[in-house]
Homo-oligomer: A and B are copies of this chain.
Amino acid sequence: MARRAALSKGEMEVARLLWQLKQATVRQVHEAFPADRTIDFTTVQTYLRRLETKGYATARLQGRTRVYSPTVRPRTVIRETIDDLVDRLFGGETMPLVRHLIEDRGIRDEDLAELRELIDRLEKGERS
């Protein structure tokens, strides 16, 4: 499949909001930005247009207004992004990143518990 062009920082911000909203007009996305993130209406508009050209969203006309919806699931984008990052930062190795995340960024106790379960599940499932 012809690799979609990767999302840039700003495009990603908008994409996340679009995923949350499921579908939205420029205005709605713009309003969905957190209050402390000032960004021009037309900037958001540009991002949405670019998401469309890159194949991450489609728009349908409702009156004279474009209503955008995502065409790629977050999971997919996330996978692609992380793959890329792991390649670039750790030469493709997953563990250093996991280690970094767990050691250097705070993980709450309940998350540790969840993690433990996750590992249990994997250890069982994997060797079959």
Footprint of B on A, CB under 8 Å? 9, 12-13, 16, 75, 78-79, 81-83, 85-86, 88-89, 91, 94-95, 97-107, 109, 111-112, 114-116, 118-119, 122-123, 126-127
Report whether A112 and B101 are in contact in the complex, using a CB–CB cutoff of 8 Å.
no
Query: Per a CB cutoff under 8 Å, which of B85, B91, B102 touches A16?
Result: B91
- Assuming the contacts A16-B91, A97-B82, asked whether A115 and B107 have C-beta atoms less than 8 A apart, the reply is no
- Assuming the contacts A98-B101, A98-B115, A102-B118, asked whether A109 and B123 have C-beta atoms less than 8 A apart, the reply is yes
Copies in the complex: 2
User: Which residues of chain B are near A115, meaning CB under 8 Å?
Assistant: 98, 102, 115, 119
Most chain B CB within 10 A, of A79, A100, A105, A127, is at: A105
- Assuming the contacts A12-B88, A88-B13, A109-B126, asked whether A119 and B118 have C-beta atoms less than 8 A apart, the reply is no
